[in-house]
Amino acid sequence: NLVGELARQGVLPSASFALALRAEGPSRLILAPDEAAMRAVGVAPGGLAWFAVDARHGEWALPVSGVSVDGEAVEGACGGRGGCRAIVDSGTAGLVLPGPLARAVLKRMPGLGDCSAGTLAALPRLAFALGNRSFEVEPASYVEVSDVDPSHCRLMIQPMDSDDSITRTAILGQAFLMGRYVAFDQAAGKVGVAAYPHLAASDAAPAAPSDTAAAA
């Protein structure tokens, strides 16, 4: 890939990059981020939670040990042996979940109604347990409101059904990335996640203990 090739040629000091995304205000792509670059966007160098990547398919896939809706665990959601894997993908707008999990989550969602701020505020928060950390996704991130007609909106949560191992695979897109600083270290095979200041203060709430949690 481009970052790896630039590092091989000596253009970059390391095969790494970071995304710092916001729904409003500046978003950034940082190549070969160092501590100075992190501090420049308000992220403490020691504030990242690092997770080993499952790179068998050339993806930035992280282990997921559980999913909850407003603090209540979704039964059977990635809690079994091996858990689930979540691909971090900035090219996906919302959240793509294994079919059974997506339907279980959507059953807990009230109707969107008139898409007013009050209606959206009443929607539940989702949380994904990565290793021993829990990362929330708020309604403002997983609901898309039309710029043309604000009375129209849609949930950005999609089911993915398959007969193979992909049934235990989720895709965490922009809905998860928004308001976060996410570092991708290709050489070390790991991903680091931290709050992008002022927009994800709920990050890093302790997750329920799980035997399948794994972090690096």
| Per-residue pLDDT reduced to its tens digit, 9-25 | 999 999 999 999 988 77
pLDDT band at 151; cut points 50, 70, 90: confident
Query: What is the number of H-type helices and E-type strands within the chain?
Result: 6, 16
Share of the chain above pLDDT 90, in %: 40
pLDDT at position 167 is 62
Predicted confidence (pLDDT) per residue in 26-78, tens digit:
889 999 999 998 988 888 888 899 999 977 777 899 989 889 999 898 876 67
Q: Give me the amino acid identity at 140.
A: A
Mean pLDDT rounded to a whole number for the chain? 83
Predicted confidence (pLDDT) per residue in 111-150, tens digit:
777 788 888 888 999 999 988 899 999 998 999 988 898 8
Helix-, strand-, coil-residue percentages of the chain, each rounded to 5: 20, 35, 45
Q: What is the DSSP string of 128-184?
A: EEETTEEEEE-HHHHEEEPSS-TT-EEE-EEEE--SSGGGGEEEE-HHHHBTEEEEE
Phi, psi of 18, deg, nearest 5: -140, 150
pLDDT (average), residues 79-83: 69
Q: Give me the amino acid identity at 39.
A: R
Structure tokens at 52: 């080993």
Helix (H, G, I), strand (E, B) or coil at 51: strand
